[in-house]
């Protein structure tokens, strides 16, 4: 059907009005990059400027085929920290780093939840083994303690899951994994202390939406903002595996340096 001249004029007027509103907002309320505090150009979208995204410290190659950790071909020591039922792990960038750390802090601690969209987009573009791409059935966010989520107002892992799901076109199971107790922050703990801190801190609920029946025999992808030693993700994966999941993979935005990294 051919649109009427009146309809085309109306759409053109609306488009011009929208451009005028955006121009006025940029003039009186200029958008600032959450990483470098530079005023964003008119053509830039999101909360991080294109220059900062270009400076992101992506993990160097070559990388381990299984865990995605930088490797020099002498065997991967990071893989040794993963349970045998974890198939693969992938991360976008190295942390700490000026840009990556600023983006994560903007999301987690400053409430810039829109940053999760662009972070999820970059996770979605990571390269995965073919069997992971063929088998992955659902995304599961690493849960926060209820008190921490109430204080923050959101779970950053859940926001990343929702963003990633829109690119991968797959479901997010927000209720499939629960944190059973509050734990100390992992920031200043040793690797051994981290593992002890989160041991048995997660469970798959028995009667909540039939989560255990839903995941039986499936390949699930755990999502979090940062992989440090892997203690939290490993504890979550163990709970999922014990509840019947066959295989688990990890997807995160950032990854901390491991002992012996170049």
Mean pLDDT for the chain? Answer: 88
Write the CA distances from 92 to 10, 95, 124, 190, 241, integer angstroms: 44, 10, 9, 24, 25
Q: Find where tokens 């530079």 sit.
A: 38
Residue pLDDT, tens place only, 137-166:
999 999 998 888 999 999 999 999 999 999
Question: Domain residue spans in the chain?
Answer: 56-256
Taking the model in full, what pTM does it have? Answer: 0.87
For residue 54, how far is the Cα from the chain centroid? 19
Q: Does domain 56-256 have CATH number 2.20.25?
A: no
Nearest to 92 by CA among 130, 71, 121, 72: 121
* Amino acid 171: pLDDT: 97
* Amino acid 196: pLDDT: 80
Nearest to 122 by CA among 252, 255, 257: 252
Residue 134 pLDDT greater than 70, yes or no: yes
Higher pLDDT, 40 or 207: 40
For residue 97, how far is the Cα from the chain centroid? 17
* Amino acid 197: pLDDT: 75
> CA-based angle 224:226:231, to the nearest 5?
85
């Amino acid at each position: 059907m051919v649109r009427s001249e009146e309809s085309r004029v109306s759409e053109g007027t609306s488009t011009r009005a929208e451009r005028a509103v955006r121009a006025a907002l940029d003039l009186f309320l200029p958008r600032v990059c959450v990483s470098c505090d530079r005023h964003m150009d008119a053509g830039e979208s999101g909360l991080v400027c294109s220059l900062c995204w270009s400076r992101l410290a992506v993990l160097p190659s070559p990388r381990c085929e299984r865990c995605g950790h930088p490797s020099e071909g002498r065997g991967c020591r990071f893989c040794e920290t993963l349970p045998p039922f974890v198939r693969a792990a992938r991360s976008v960038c190295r942390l700490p780093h000026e840009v990556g750390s600023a983006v994560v802090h903007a999301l987690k601690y400053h409430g810039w939840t829109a940053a999760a969209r662009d972070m999820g987009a970059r996770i979605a573009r990571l390269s995965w083994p073919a069997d992971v791409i063929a088998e992955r059935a659902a995304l599961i966010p690493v849960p926060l303690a209820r008190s921490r989520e109430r204080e923050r107002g959101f779970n950053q892992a859940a926001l990343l899951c929702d963003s990633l799901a829109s690119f991968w076109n797959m479901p997010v199971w927000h209720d499939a994994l629960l944190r059973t107790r509050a734990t100390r922050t992992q920031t200043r703990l040793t690797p051994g202390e981290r593992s002890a801190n989160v041991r048995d801190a997660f469970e798959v609920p028995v009667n909540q939406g039939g989560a255990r029946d839903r995941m039986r025999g499936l390949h699930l992808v755990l999502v979090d903002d940062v992989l440090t030693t892997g203690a939290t993700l490993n504890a979550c994966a163990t709970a999922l595996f014990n509840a019947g999941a066959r295989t688990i993979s990890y997807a995160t935005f950032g990854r901390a340096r491991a002992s012996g990294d170049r």
